[in-house]
A = this chain, B = another copy of it.
Amino acid sequence: MLSFTEENYLKSLFQLTVESNEKVEAGTNEIAAHLGVKPASANDMLKKLKDKKLIHYEKYGKSTLTKEGRKYALEIVRKHRLWETFLYEKLEFSWDEVHEVAEQLEHIQSKKLIDKLDKFLNYPEVDPHGDAIPNAKGELEISQRKSLLEEEIGHACKMVGVKDNSAAFLQYVDSIGLSINQIIRIKAREEFDDLLEIEVNGKKNRVSPKFAENIIITCSECNRLRKN
């Protein structure tokens, strides 16, 4: 049985590697920053998790999850996202409130609880932020995702999530009329300042590259091409 803290380290490493588009391994400082602890603390824990064969770690090297570590991480991610879905769908929590509470609920230990919750929610595939929920076998559907910034001009895509989960950003997103499953069409990119002109529900908006980078989308037009 893993401690609350060990679980949080595995989840962080999962997010920084498996679920990251840029990297497949993470450095000690990076992990520490992600968890809000000092590098010395993270270093201690990395050695401990290596001893438990949950991560690959070598002195002065980058870290990754072992198969076993990934299994645990997926369980935590599954719990986190199912609880978020529960709070959103059943308890009238708003989009930007669910994460904080799910950070606690994800550590409740009961196989039966999480499988019954899954059933109660009718086996949802994505959480309120559009992130995929691992199934009971720990399989995570990897859909072809990218940020709005990377989308082709002229394409219509579907918003499936966000990268930044801060309440401030989520409220900004709401204010533009964006939400999960919303269709976004890229009209143009402004040469002068790189702002993207997008259309949401027939309404035009200009968004910054920083904003666009934090909106996750899938594009069926691009996916179709990619298949070949």
Q: Which residues of A contact B (CB under 8 A)?
A: 87, 90-93, 97, 100-101, 104-105, 108-110, 112-113, 116-117, 120
Contacts and interface: CB of A to CB of B under 8 A. Distances in A.
A116 B104 contact: no
Given A91-B120, A120-B90, A104 B109 contact: yes
A185 to B, nearest CB: 36
A105 B116 CA distance: 15
Nearest to A109: B104
Contact of A112 (B93, B109, B110, B112): B93
B91 A116 contact: yes
A120 B117 CA distance: 15
Q: Considering the complex of A and B, which 5 residue pairs feature the smallest CB-CB distances, nearest first?
A: A91-B116, A101-B110, A104-B108, A101-B113, A91-B120
Nearest to A108: B104
B112 A97 contact: yes
B101 A108 contact: yes
19 contacts: A87-B113, A90-B120, A91-B113, A91-B116, A91-B117, A91-B120, A92-B116, A93-B112, A93-B116, A97-B112, A100-B110, A101-B108, A101-B110, A101-B112, A101-B113, A104-B108, A104-B109, A104-B110, A105-B108
A7 to B, nearest CB: 13
A110 B100 CA distance: 9
A212 B154 CA distance: 76
A86 to B, nearest CB: 10
A105 B91 CA distance: 16
Contacts of A104: 108-110
A92 B120 CA distance: 9
A91 B118 CA distance: 10
